[in-house]
Amino acid sequence: MLKCSRGWGSSRIGLPRSEEAMDLDPYRAFRSLFASKTVRSAWAKSYGKQFWEASEPSQSQATVDDIKFVTQRLHPSAETKLADLGCGGGCVGRYFACGFGADVEGIDADPLAIRMAEELAVTSGAGHRLRFKTGDVSKTGWRDSSFDGAFSMDVLLFVADKRAALHEIARILKPGSGFVGTSWELRAESAALHAPAFDDYPGAFKDAGFEIEIYEETRNWRRLLTDAISAVVASEDAIRREVEGPAAERLLRWARARPGELDHSRRVRFSVQRPV
């Protein structure tokens, strides 16, 4: 069961916030990127059978395998309450709420993404099971031991203090609960993502008290991403027509810069557990 209403995913291209001020309507520009048929087609054709229909590229780069992995590790149900760390527009949370009846609370630093997540929660039909807020994953404000599981899709790489964030995630999880997701190891600072170098997730998980169950490279990440980026660059004219100026410029700048950094990158998935 891998279908759900479309919406933003969790992964995002790192962008300087100062550029938003240049746009008279930042939210409209934000939405125009995800309404672009050309951008969506670039990912759908490049990912093929691995394209998750509920995703919203380019921010969401989750594959069908990624979603199956997170679902199988967390076992969402009507009896579970899950935390979405760096929820973006909340498409994974909606998937768990719509498809499995789980209660999901999401947090993200971008108020534009949270605005969209809240709107899509209402239209999804599962709004009573979804709650989103703007905030810092290192200081969530949630109670101790209040979640049955947590997930994060390609967001940890953007967190400035990853060890502090992981300690916070361990704090909000019930003993025996799992934290599952994907991230990027960066052996050098990424100008395209505006993200610092960091590749010691195993050490950071252990420092936070987590037991590592799975930590491995995701399948075919480089080919999938490279093909999608190439399709974006080849569709520049159409993207400029469909996506409002600032959002289009940010996407195209990322697409040109990111391939040169991939030798210093590795996409990984993880499943860790807070001990009982």
Confidence of residue 4 (pLDDT cuts 50, 70, 90): low
Q: In CATH, what number does 17-273 get?
A: 3.40.50.150
pLDDT at 125 over 60: yes
19-33, 95-109, 162-176, 198-212: the lowest-pLDDT one? 19-33
Tell me the pLDDT of the chain averaged across its residues. 92
Q: What is the 3-state secondary structure (H, E, C) of the chain?
A: CCCCCCCCCCCCCCCCHHHHHHCCCHHHHHHHHHHCHHHHHHHHHHHHHHECCCCCCCCCCCEHHHHHHHHHHHCCCCCCEEEEECCCCCHHHHHHHHHHCCEEEEEECCHHHHHHHHHHHHHHCCHHHEEEEECECCECCCCCCCEEEEEEECCHHHCCCHHHHHHHHHHHEEEEEEEEEEEEEECCCECCCCECCECCHHHHHHHCCCEEEEEEECCCHHHHHHHHHHHHHHCHHHHHHHCCHHHHHHHHHHHHHHHHHHHHEEEEEEEEECCC
Q: Confidence band (pLDDT; 50, 70, 90) for 59?
A: confident
Q: What's the pTM value of the predicted model, to 2 decimals?
A: 0.91
Top-confidence residue, 34 or 256: 256
Residue 50 scores a pLDDT above 60: yes
Does 23 have pLDDT greater than 70?
no
What per-residue confidence (pLDDT) applies to 19? 45
How does pLDDT run across 181-212, given as a tens digit for each residue? 999 999 999 999 999 999 999 999 999 999 99
pLDDT for 2 beyond 90? no
Listed by start position, the domains of the chain span: 17-273
The residue with greater pLDDT, 264 or 7, is: 264
